[in-house]
Structure 1
Amino acid sequence: MKLSSLNAISPVDGRYRNKVEDLSAYFSEFALIKYRVLVEIEYFIALCELPLPQLDGIDTSLYPELRSIYENFSEEDATAIKEIEKVTNHDVKAVEYFIKEKFDILNLAAYKEFIHFGLTSQDINNTAVPLSIKDALEKSYIPVLEEVIEKLSSLAEDWKDIPMLARTHGQPASPTRLGKEISVFVTRLTQQCEVLKSVPDAAKFGGATGNYNAHKIAYPKTDWKAFGTHFVEDILKLHHSFPTTQIEHYDHMAALFDAMKRINTIIIDLDRDIWTYISMDYFKQKIKKGEVGSSAMPHKVNPIDFENSEGNLGIANAVFEHLSAKLPLSRLQRDLTDSTVLRNIGVPFGHTLIGFHATLKGLSKLLLNADKLAADLENNWAVVAEAIQTILRREGYPNPYEALKGLTRTNQKIDEQVIADFIDTLEVSEAIKNELKVISPSNYTGI
Structure 2
Amino acid sequence: MDSYQTPLSSRYASKEMSHLFSSEMRFHTWRELWLNLAIAEKELGLPISDEAIQEMQNNLYLDEKQFGIAAAEEKKRRHDVMAHVHTFGVVAPSAAAIIHLGATSCYVTDNADLIFLREGCNILINKLVVVIDRLARFAEEYRALPTLGFTHFQPAQLTTVGKRCTLWIQELLWDLRNIARARDDIGFRGVKGTTGTQASFLTLFDGDHEKVKALDKRVTELMGFAYAYPVTSQTYSRKVDIDVLSPLASFGATAHKIATDIRLLANLKEMEEPFEKDQIGSSAMAYKRNPMRCERVCSLARHLMVVHQNTLLTSSVQWFERTLDDSANRRVTIPEAFLTADIVLSTLQNISEGLVVYPKVIARRISEELPFMATENVIMAMVKAGGDRQQAHEEIRVLSHQASAVVKQEGKANDLISRIKATAYFQPIHDQLDALLDPATFVGRAPEQVDEFIQECVTPIRESYKEQLHSAKQVELNV
TM-score where L is the length of structure 2: 0.78
For these two proteins, the number of residue pairs brought into alignment is 423
Tell me whether 1:37 sits opposite 2:31 in the alignment: yes
> What is the identity percentage for the equivalent residue pairs of Structure 1 and Structure 2?
18
Residue of structure 2 in register with 1:340 after alignment: 328
Question: 1:406, CA displacement in angstroms?
Answer: 5.4
What CA distance in whole angstroms lies between the structure 1 residues aligned with 2:215 and 2:136? 46
Question: 1:27, CA displacement in angstroms?
Answer: 1.2
Report the secondary structure of 2:188's partner residue. strand
What CA distance in whole angstroms lies between the structure 2 residues aligned with 1:236 and 1:145? 24
What CA distance in whole angstroms lies between the structure 2 residues aligned with 1:74 and 1:399? 87
Residue of structure 1 in register with 2:126 after alignment: 143
Per mean C-alpha deviation after superposition, the further-off stretch among 81-90 and 271-280 is: 81-90
For residues 69-125 of structure 1, the C-alpha deviation after alignment (integer angstroms, 9 at most, x for no partner) is 22x333332332222222221111222222333332xx446xx23x22222111221
Per mean C-alpha deviation after superposition, the further-off stretch among 205-214 and 350-359 is: 350-359
Question: 1:439, CA displacement in angstroms?
Answer: 5.8
Question: 1:309, CA displacement in angstroms?
Answer: 1.5
Residue of structure 2 in register with 1:27 after alignment: 21
What CA distance in whole angstroms lies between the structure 1 residues aligned with 2:131 and 2:395? 42
TM-score where L is the length of structure 1: 0.83
Alignment of 1:112-191 (within 5 A): 112-113=97-98, 115-138=99-122, 140-191=123-174
8 Å contact from structure 1 (residues 202, 252) kept in 2: no
8 Å contact from structure 1 (residues 201, 253) kept in 2: no
What CA distance in whole angstroms lies between the structure 1 residues aligned with 2:398 and 2:227? 64
Q: Please, which runs of 5 or more residues in structure 1 have no aligned partner?
A: none
8 Å contact from structure 1 (residues 126, 248) kept in 2: yes
User: Structure 2 vs 1, CA of residues 285 and 235 (structure 1 numbering), >3 Å: closer, same or farther?
Assistant: closer
What CA distance in whole angstroms lies between the structure 1 residues aligned with 2:380 and 2:111? 61
User: Structure 2 vs 1, CA of residues 234 and 191 (structure 1 numbering), >3 Å: closer, same or farther?
Assistant: farther
Report the secondary structure of 1:31's partner residue. helix
Of the two structures, which has the highest relative contact order with CA contacts closer than 8 Å and spacing of 6 or more?
A: 2
8 Å contact from structure 1 (residues 285, 301) kept in 2: no
Tell me whether 1:373 sits opposite 2:373 in the alignment: no
Question: 1:285, CA displacement in angstroms?
Answer: 5.6
Per mean C-alpha deviation after superposition, the further-off stretch among 205-214 and 269-278 is: 205-214
8 Å contact from structure 2 (residues 125, 180) kept in 1: no
What CA distance in whole angstroms lies between the structure 2 residues aligned with 1:341 and 1:390? 66
Question: 1:408, CA displacement in angstroms?
Answer: 9.2
For residues 356-406 of structure 1, the C-alpha deviation after alignment (integer angstroms, 9 at most, x for no partner) is 2333333444321100111111111223457789999xxxx9899x98995
Residue of structure 2 in register with 1:356 after alignment: 345
Alignment of 1:261-340 (within 5 A): 261-284=249-272, 287-327=275-315, 329-340=317-328
Q: Please, which runs of 5 or more residues in structure 2 have no aligned partner?
A: 383-387, 406-413, 446-479
What CA distance in whole angstroms lies between the structure 2 residues aligned with 1:207 and 1:388? 79
Tell me whether 1:244 sits opposite 2:232 in the alignment: yes
User: Structure 2 vs 1, CA of residues 352 and 175 (structure 1 numbering), >3 Å: closer, same or farther?
Assistant: same
What CA distance in whole angstroms lies between the structure 1 residues aligned with 2:376 and 2:67? 69
Question: 1:289, CA displacement in angstroms?
Answer: 3.5
What CA distance in whole angstroms lies between the structure 2 residues aligned with 1:258 and 1:270? 19
8 Å contact from structure 2 (residues 400, 416) kept in 1: no
Instruction: State the AA in 2 paired with 1:11.
Output: P
Question: 1:164, CA displacement in angstroms?
Answer: 0.5
8 Å contact from structure 1 (residues 257, 324) kept in 2: no
User: Structure 2 vs 1, CA of residues 247 and 285 (structure 1 numbering), >3 Å: closer, same or farther?
Assistant: closer
After superposition, the CA RMSD in angstroms is 3.5
Tell me whether 1:67 sits opposite 2:61 in the alignment: no
User: Structure 2 vs 1, CA of residues 108 and 358 (structure 1 numbering), >3 Å: closer, same or farther?
Assistant: closer
User: Structure 2 vs 1, CA of residues 285 and 255 (structure 1 numbering), >3 Å: closer, same or farther?
Assistant: closer
